[in-house]
Structure 1
Amino acid sequence: MTEFEYDADDNLGEDDEEGGSWTFGGRTASVFLIDASPAMFDSQSNDEGDDNDPPFQKAIKCVHATLMRKIITSDQDLISVVFFNTRETKNSTDFANVYILQDLERPGAEKILQLEELLKLPTKEFDKKYGHASGANIHDALRVCQGIFTKSSSRLSGQSIMLFTNCDDPHPGDNQKQRQARQKAGDLKEAGIVLEILHMGNHFDVKKFYQDMIIRDDEDEDSQESMILADPTNRIDELTDRVKRLEHKQRTMGRTTFTLAPGVEMAVSIYTGVRKTYKPSKVKLWKTTNEEVRYMKKEYLEETGELLLPSDYVKYQEYGKKKIKFTLDEVRSLSSIYPPGIELLGFKSIKCIKPYMHVKPANFVYVDDKTIEGSKKMFGALLDRCLAREVVPIVRFIPRRNASVAWAALIPQAEELDEHNCQVVPPGFHACFLPFADDFRNLEMENLPRATPDQVDAAKAVIQKLHFKYQPESFDNPSLQTHWRNIEALALNRSTLDPVPDHTVPTNDRILRKVGKLLDNLRDLVYPPSYDPANPPKKRPSAASTPAPKKPKIDPKSMSVEDLAKEGKVDKLNMDQLKAWLQERGMRVTGKKKAQLVQDVMDELGV
């Protein structure tokens, strides 16, 4: 199995927020190390349909896309941009040919605009400002990146270096520099810093130099076999997708043990799956300092005004006309029937798990070899046998302390790689929660007409023709995209906005091209010959929905003011009529509103 590449979010469901204490684990830090040698600025012959931008510009575009994505998804993470193979030098240790363009900070509008200016910068201007070189030591560049992480004052939960280059052998014939680079790569791994190679070019041979940096000789055979390096690419979309997968750090919901039998345990991590994304909630700011307003809730006893503490609360259950009281600790202990963890109960055929059993979003279970050594081999063996025999483990699922007891089916998922050896689907189990007996309902259906077998077959043909593999990332929420696009334009001082495509709207022309004849066949079988879909027959209004006859409107001109006053409808008169009636009686009407005029009429008539 290769390393886990699962796009998980940090949002927890409603059921996951009950109980448990969550602490801030730290920020994710990424350093983009980009080669600025002359070869990176040469346009290469790319695949058909791809752009002809030089590799350096493609690398900058990937960093730009990452900054734009980070601001929306993880604005607390830190990003830095470093060049190597430049004539100019800018770093704290004065290593030659290494230039720190952006320090390790949160993404912001200034950094994005700086990268956009860099994309517009001609090659000659770049040479004047930064210069080109070809003899930079990879050891020195990696050491500068490690120093950036070390000097960060923030607590870091994940550190990674993304190296963009199209040179497969940076130190040809220099064994000392090659050995130093490999040694520094090993030091980074021991320090918990992940080094990723994003190699570009049609003839990039990763075995010449970089494969030895990623796959160490001192690692065990299983680790060496699990490391699969992707093929080099020139396509900007593939490069951006790789950066997104490598740079995104998975934050686990928790770690627990998976008990297969008494005394047989392995450690696993639990991750959230694909969840719905919402617009960020509104934040109230103080008008003078523009700082966020924090709320503090305190409750007092109504009789004495004494401040209430959490220990002063009790809950009760009424039984036999008596209130049986429980403290909050006693209420929490009621859910602690079993200890936290995942316990295997048995196996079922995968065909027994039906789609209608879905009760809430599933979690993803992956091995955690750091907690219990050897868990990776046991997890891989279990996954392999479940896939081979097409069975699912049925487990008792309690992810953490004070969590509700749940039963789940672990749907096995095999690893999938694309044609470039990039991981598309990670290996592991989807923990699909099973419903309880109370979750099933018996629906009373009326005697409705049923479709004939021919009509059913015609409908199946239409559905099969329009069937496709659904992927959530292929359909963006147009409302969310418009919201963030407006914020982007405001932050970057942009006057025009690119239109937001709505991929959720069905493409009727394309649908008709694929199933036009099948739809006509289905229409002929279901509807009568005289049915016209463009002009469907109007429904007859039911007796209950027939509107009541309207009351005739009263014409104020046909009634005297006295009669209207008796019925309380003087306000039906307009301003001119009211003023004329009051002026005939010598009353002042200048500067008065209609309500005052109506009141004067009522007072005059004594109504």
Structure 2
Amino acid sequence: MADDNDDTEGFRGGQANKKYTFFVIDGSESIWFFRELLNVCCLRSLNNHVGVVVTNTKKTTDKAAENSVVLLPIGVPSQDEVNEIKALLDDENIKDAFESISGGFYNSDLAQILNYCKREFASFSNTRHQSVFYFTNDRQPFGSGALEDSNYFKKTLSAVKKIVGRGQRKTLGEFSVVFFGEKPEEGEFQPEKEPLYLLDTEVFDTDITPAKRIRQKTTALRSLANIGVHLGPGVSFDVGVYILAAEAPALPHTKKYLKKTEQPLLKRVGYVPVSGESSAAKTATVGGVQKEIKEEVDEDDFGATFLGRGGFSDWKSKNELKRMLEIGGEKVMMSQKQYDSMGRFGEKGITLLGFRPIDSIDVELCVAAPKFLRPNEESTLGSTRLYRALLDRCHERQQAMICRYQSRSNERLRLVALIPWKNTTPKDGPESTASQRAGADVSDFIHDGFHVFVLPYKEEVRDDVERIRSGGPLDGKWPEVCDTDVHVARAFVKKLTMSYNPSFYENPRLLSQKAALVERATGDVILERKDTLVPYHAYPERMERVKEEVKEFVDYFCLEDALHALEAKPKTPRRRNAKVEGVDIKEEDEEDVSPPKRVRHGAVKKEEASSEADDEVRKLFERGNLSSLTVAELRAAISSHCACVPKSTLRKAQLVEMLEQFFNAN
């Protein structure tokens, strides 16, 4: 159903594109960097399923991968697996520890190992992101002969192509070689004689570190959907839809266990009639009130219990149910199929409606997570050329494309604006991208192309103009400012101007959860639990830097006087009993008690403050500024002057009118 699934539209990309990564380690005798491999491989992310395979071993743990040890099966590691990895890292002679696990060194078939990874990937969803990293320091793992005559190399290359998934629309993958040996020099480098280069053209690049390269490969998202852009009759091209930013989901739900027996709790959901003997719910009278009691059924007794109540024939599927809508007092019944058809409008895709200037589009009214479009050449040749022509022309004229958008047939039809964006910042110069963003790698977050902004329909725009005006600072009008005001504010803002990049801040809640899980699993505090959104004044060095501007800002705008005036405002008195030396005294006895502050002296001060507040309200009425009071202050003034309590449903304008009528009559 369209509306039911629409709330999770922005997050479906993360659910549909699960990431699965195999780290294949060359475990031959010449490998001497076991500790570095473990540190790189086993620092996994909670959003990535990881597996580790060590090749060239005498021992075989899986018949599908001979002469290899599956050190970590793909998935979420268990407690025993975490402890085993930790024991390897803590061992002083890590090479001997590996020999005890592998049983010695032996030659294995790399093509067979890659095919094993491919079969493991195939057991998961076909909308996955799969990647394999091969760690080695051997530049000639296939022997010294010619590569074109090596069947071993041909089989390995064929397995790599299957993992990459070229030509497939749903499942795409990455294969990378991480080389720890000595890289060839420029003069002696011959690509046709380098088997590792033929498997991965980035193997000898030194621009980025292996850890950063692994992160880029494993976190690359596959497109959320591949749809067509229809410019007119017979004119269309294909694009891929990507979500560049979306709220990170909570930590994955693990299997639940019963607290007493520690047995796994299994859950089944079905539709059971409410009335009749086959109902799963019973009623009972508790304290004279009839309540519904739900029975808890164990997994072992589940089938027998419900079969005894009439069997599964009483259970109803979702398609057999009906929906009831109440419109104008009338109840309308319709089937699930009829209700689903109300949300379908033609086939999915993006259809052009027209063009509008970018500055006339209110992008702040975007009602969903923005998306990003990239051309897709796999289904329609020439998509990149047409996409680039539209991007350049729209960016030159500063025009946006207004379109109807539907990425799936069962999703809500959207009105969107395709806004072109191109990075025009010069790469060299004082205002380069690196200097603007404090040297952060912004290529992960900013891309040239069309960005999809979801625009609201007429029914989705809230008309709050009158409410905003009535709640303005001075009768709905902002006061005029002078150049001095702007200068003082400019100095304060300039000192606090900061660099921002999504990589600067982590979600404090997720960071705390991850740190707690890692500490419980390993026993070590690897991640620090901290608040990443601490304000600037919490750091002494930052506060010292902006100290003068803050003082000038506070003094110029008299913020301390305003704070003192706010503290001096009369608070609503509470009816409570006073205590003097352990004796309760009610309000009627307050006149006979002198020592406590909130008895006689407090009452006199409140009366003086109340009279001052009444005089202040009358002065505001004479100046015509009653609307500058808050709703709570207006209610207190009406209670004090008019000797009545206004209704809670009255708005601010009505409260102001009541006070004006009272002062005009008196």
- Scaled to the shorter chain, the TM-score interval is 0.5 to 0.7
User: Is 1:318 matched up with 2:291?
Assistant: no
- The Cα shift of 1:184 comes to 3.9
- The Cα shift of 1:404 comes to 1.7
- The Cα shift of 1:503 comes to 1.6
| Equivalent in the alignment of 1:434 | 455
Q: Give the total of aligned pairs.
A: 502
Q: After superposition, where does 1:70-89 map in structure 2 within 5 Å? A: 72-74=46-48, 77=49, 79-83=51-55, 88=58
Q: After superposition, where does 1:337-352 map in structure 2 within 5 Å? A: 337-352=345-360
User: Is 1:404 matched up with 2:425?
Assistant: no
- The Cα shift of 1:434 comes to 1.3
- The Cα shift of 1:241 comes to 3.0
Separation (CA, whole Å) in 2 of partners of 1:93 and 1:302: 55
With over 3 angstroms needed to count, the CA separation of the structure-2 counterparts of 1:229 and 1:338, relative to structure 1, is farther
With over 3 angstroms needed to count, the CA separation of the structure-2 counterparts of 1:113 and 1:453, relative to structure 1, is farther
Unaligned 5+ segments in structure 2 are 165-173, 280-313, 428-432, 586-666
Separation (CA, whole Å) in 1 of partners of 2:361 and 2:253: 37
| Equivalent in the alignment of 2:444 | 424
| Equivalent in the alignment of 2:22 | 31
Out of 244-253 and 500-509, give the one that drifted further. 244-253
Which letter does structure 2 place at the counterpart of 1:31?
A: F
- The Cα shift of 1:407 comes to 1.3
Which of 165, 176, 179 aligns to 1:196? It is: 176
Separation (CA, whole Å) in 1 of partners of 2:252 and 2:580: 51
With over 3 angstroms needed to count, the CA separation of the structure-2 counterparts of 1:164 and 1:517, relative to structure 1, is farther
Separation (CA, whole Å) in 2 of partners of 1:162 and 1:511: 43
| Equivalent in the alignment of 2:516 | 486
- The Cα shift of 1:246 comes to 0.9
Q: After superposition, where does 1:466-545 map in structure 2 within 5 Å? A: 466-492=496-522, 494=523, 499-508=528-537, 509-527=540-558, 531=560, 539-542=567-570, 545=572
User: Is 1:546 matched up with 2:607?
Assistant: no
| Equivalent in the alignment of 1:270 | 241
| Equivalent in the alignment of 1:46 | none
Which of 356, 373, 391 aligns to 1:365? It is: 373
With over 3 angstroms needed to count, the CA separation of the structure-2 counterparts of 1:394 and 1:132, relative to structure 1, is farther
Which letter does structure 2 place at the counterpart of 1:506?
A: P
Q: After superposition, where does 1:238-387 map in structure 2 within 5 Å? A: 238-248=209-219, 250=221, 252-272=223-243, 273-280=245-252, 284-286=256-258, 288=261, 290-300=263-273, 302=275, 310=318, 311-319=320-328, 322-387=330-395
| Equivalent in the alignment of 1:3 | none
| Equivalent in the alignment of 1:393 | 401
User: Is 1:64 matched up with 2:85?
Assistant: no
Which of 89, 92, 97 aligns to 1:119? It is: 89
Whether the 8 Å contact between 2:440 and 2:501 is mirrored in structure 1 is no
Q: Determine what percentage of the aligned residue pairs are the same residue.
A: 18
With over 3 angstroms needed to count, the CA separation of the structure-2 counterparts of 1:152 and 1:550, relative to structure 1, is closer
Q: Secondary structure at the match of 1:410?
A: strand
Separation (CA, whole Å) in 2 of partners of 1:210 and 1:460: 61
- The Cα shift of 1:470 comes to 3.1
| Equivalent in the alignment of 2:618 | none
Separation (CA, whole Å) in 2 of partners of 1:239 and 1:340: 41
Q: Secondary structure at the match of 2:226?
A: strand
Which letter does structure 2 place at the counterpart of 1:62?
A: V
TM-score (norm 1): 0.67
With over 3 angstroms needed to count, the CA separation of the structure-2 counterparts of 1:171 and 1:334, relative to structure 1, is closer
Unaligned 5+ segments in structure 1 are 1-11, 42-54, 218-223, 559-607
Separation (CA, whole Å) in 1 of partners of 2:541 and 2:210: 30
For residues 386-419 of structure 1, the C-alpha deviation after alignment (integer angstroms, 9 at most, x for no partner) is: 5555543322111211322211123445699999
Which of 175, 179, 187 aligns to 2:158? It is: 187
Separation (CA, whole Å) in 2 of partners of 1:145 and 1:291: 34
Separation (CA, whole Å) in 1 of partners of 2:326 and 2:135: 63
Q: Secondary structure at the match of 2:546?
A: helix
With over 3 angstroms needed to count, the CA separation of the structure-2 counterparts of 1:260 and 1:104, relative to structure 1, is farther
Separation (CA, whole Å) in 2 of partners of 1:28 and 1:143: 22
- The Cα shift of 1:433 comes to 0.8
With over 3 angstroms needed to count, the CA separation of the structure-2 counterparts of 1:421 and 1:230, relative to structure 1, is farther
Relative to its length, the structure with more helix (as a share) is: 2
Whether the 8 Å contact between 2:442 and 2:501 is mirrored in structure 1 is no
Which letter does structure 1 place at the counterpart of 2:162?
A: A
Separation (CA, whole Å) in 2 of partners of 1:183 and 1:471: 44
With over 3 angstroms needed to count, the CA separation of the structure-2 counterparts of 1:483 and 1:322, relative to structure 1, is closer
Whether the 8 Å contact between 1:229 and 1:421 is mirrored in structure 2 is no
Whether the 8 Å contact between 1:27 and 1:154 is mirrored in structure 2 is no
Whether the 8 Å contact between 2:377 and 2:384 is mirrored in structure 1 is yes
- The Cα shift of 1:162 comes to 0.6
Q: After superposition, where does 1:11-26 map in structure 2 within 5 Å? A: 15-17=6-8
- The Cα shift of 1:381 comes to 4.4
Which letter does structure 2 place at the counterpart of 1:503?
A: T
TM-score (norm 2): 0.62
Separation (CA, whole Å) in 2 of partners of 1:110 and 1:303: 50
Q: Secondary structure at the match of 2:408?
A: coil
Per chain length, whose mean CA-contact separation is higher, i.e. which structure has more relative contact order (CA < 8 Å, sep 6+)? 1
Q: Secondary structure at the match of 1:400?
A: coil
Separation (CA, whole Å) in 1 of partners of 2:363 and 2:42: 40
Which of 110, 135, 141 aligns to 1:141? It is: 110
Q: Secondary structure at the match of 1:191?
A: helix
Q: Secondary structure at the match of 2:506?
A: coil
Q: Secondary structure at the match of 1:294?
A: coil
With over 3 angstroms needed to count, the CA separation of the structure-2 counterparts of 1:282 and 1:501, relative to structure 1, is same
Which letter does structure 1 place at the counterpart of 2:249?
A: T
Q: Secondary structure at the match of 1:342?
A: strand
Q: Secondary structure at the match of 2:568?
A: coil
Whether the 8 Å contact between 1:476 and 1:503 is mirrored in structure 2 is yes
Which of 486, 489, 510 aligns to 1:459? It is: 489
With over 3 angstroms needed to count, the CA separation of the structure-2 counterparts of 1:469 and 1:385, relative to structure 1, is farther
Whether the 8 Å contact between 2:22 and 2:52 is mirrored in structure 1 is yes
- The Cα shift of 1:340 comes to 1.8
CA-based RMSD: 4.8
Whether the 8 Å contact between 2:110 and 2:156 is mirrored in structure 1 is no
Whether the 8 Å contact between 2:65 and 2:116 is mirrored in structure 1 is no
Q: After superposition, where does 1:585-604 map in structure 2 within 5 Å? A: none
Separation (CA, whole Å) in 2 of partners of 1:270 and 1:436: 22
